[in-house]
Amino acid sequence: MAERGGDGANGADGADGTGGGDGAGDARARAEQDADRGLRRAVFLRELDEARKLRDRVQPRRARAERARRQLRMRTFRW
């Protein structure tokens, strides 16, 4: 009950080697967290792309201006 924050998923417990001692379990938990993060990121990026396409369809003038700005930025940073 001395542990605050539940399961210690923030990686602070046992990081200095004084905690539980199950390094394989920590690595497995970290890999699962990374996989979950990757899935959440993929969903976020997919939704962001859908939102941009919707905005482009609904506001074509703004989308055209944004494309022109993006092209200008790309031209500016080419060597």
Q: What is the pLDDT of residues 26-73, one digit of tens each?
A: 888 898 899 999 999 999 999 999 998 998 888 888 888 988 998 988
- 71 in a structural domain: yes
- 17 in a structural domain: no
- 23 in a structural domain: no
- 21 in a structural domain: no
Tokens of 5: 């924050």
Q: How confident is the model at residue 5 (pLDDT cuts 50, 70, 90)?
A: very low
- 15 in a structural domain: no
Rounded CA separation 46/63 (Å): 19
Least confident of 6-10, 21-25, 29-33, 54-58: 6-10
The residue length of the chain stands at: 79
- 46 in a structural domain: yes
| Residue corresponding to tokens 């979950």 | 36
- 14 in a structural domain: no
| Residue corresponding to tokens 């998923």 | 9
18 neighbors 25 (Cβ within 8 angstroms): no
The domain of 46 spans 29-76
